[in-house]
Amino acid sequence: MPYPVGHSIAIRSGIIDSARKLFNRYGFDNVSIDQIMSGTGLTRGGFYGHFKSKSDLYAEVLGCFFTDPNWENCWEGVEIDFAGKDPGAQVVRAYLSSQHFENVENSCPMVALPSDVARSGKSARAAFENVFCAMVNLLERSSKNGAGSRQVQAKAIAALCVGGMVVARAMNDRGVADELRDACLSVALELGGWEVSTHRQTKAKKRLRRAPTSA
């Protein structure tokens, strides 16, 4: 009996989704093809009908909602309407949200995999760069800040989002991590000329001004 239309596409999508979750949580080197396929309910043999190798799959896993319209962020309570008002501001708020911080498996791969990308080949680095540039382009188009170069501002905003979340995830103290996310969010929204709530802005600025205690 032949498979229904779209079966192959669904299987391929399932493999990418399983790999993204496992790579995000454990890293590229620590995940096997068997583990990836187990997450789809299939065996290792089915993998090679869709990908030549784990490295071949890796570049596709780096896709995100900036480049894949069918990618679902799965961050509860977070919605992004690219056709709505200020999509750039929506992306910044979503990216630095507590939901994204907590949902490691469904992270944007740019947050979870930068060190793996740096050790990988040209194809993986090119895929990472493609996603980052797509994010920059979206932020640039949505920017409301007329001062200076919008592209420069958009690059800084994207770096604040990705880098801010990477550093926040590395913190042992959740309070410090939340303070860092709030600070990055406040600065990123200001750079884009988007509205920053007074309460959040005040908290973030106080945290940025807080001097480290001496030993």
Alpha-carbon distances of 76 from 100, 102, 116, 119, 152, rounded to whole Å:
9, 10, 27, 32, 31
Per-residue pLDDT of the chain (215 residues), as tens digits, is 445 556 678 899 899 999 999 999 999 889 999 999 999 998 898 999 999 988 889 888 888 878 877 676 678 888 888 888 888 999 999 999 999 999 998 889 899 888 888 888 888 888 899 999 999 999 999 999 876 789 999 999 999 999 999 999 999 999 999 999 999 999 999 999 998 874 444 454 444 445 454 44
| Residue 132 resides in a domain | yes
Neighbours of 208 (CB within 10 A): 14
Residue 92 confidence (pLDDT):
95
Task: Examine the domain organization and report whether 55 and 66 are in the same domain.
Answer: no
| Residue 144 resides in a domain | yes
Question: Which of 61, 88, 109 is where one domain is finished?
Answer: 61
Residue 120 confidence (pLDDT):
81
Our count of domains for the chain comes to 2
| Residue 214 resides in a domain | no
| Residue 152 resides in a domain | yes
Task: Examine the domain organization and report whether 68 and 108 are in the same domain.
Answer: yes
Residue 192 confidence (pLDDT):
95
CATH for 1: 1.10.10.60
Task: Examine the domain organization and report whether 49 and 81 are in the same domain.
Answer: no
Task: Examine the domain organization and report whether 133 and 36 are in the same domain.
Answer: no
Residue 19 confidence (pLDDT):
93
CATH for 70: 1.10.357.10
CB 179 within 8 Å of CB 127: no
Whole-model pTM: value is 0.81
Task: Examine the domain organization and report whether 42 and 82 are in the same domain.
Answer: no
Task: Examine the domain organization and report whether 50 and 130 are in the same domain.
Answer: no
| Residue 125 resides in a domain | yes
Task: Examine the domain organization and report whether 84 and 168 are in the same domain.
Answer: yes
Residue 78 confidence (pLDDT):
87
Residue 145 confidence (pLDDT):
84
Residue 65 confidence (pLDDT):
77
Rounded distance, CA 50 to CA 46, Å?
Answer: 8
Task: Examine the domain organization and report whether 48 and 76 are in the same domain.
Answer: no
- Domain of 49, in residue numbers: 1-61
| Residue 159 resides in a domain | yes
Task: Examine the domain organization and report whether 50 and 73 are in the same domain.
Answer: no
| Residue 107 resides in a domain | yes
| Residue 215 resides in a domain | no
Task: Examine the domain organization and report whether 152 and 138 are in the same domain.
Answer: yes
Task: Examine the domain organization and report whether 72 and 37 are in the same domain.
Answer: no
Residue 7 confidence (pLDDT):
65
Task: Examine the domain organization and report whether 12 and 113 are in the same domain.
Answer: no
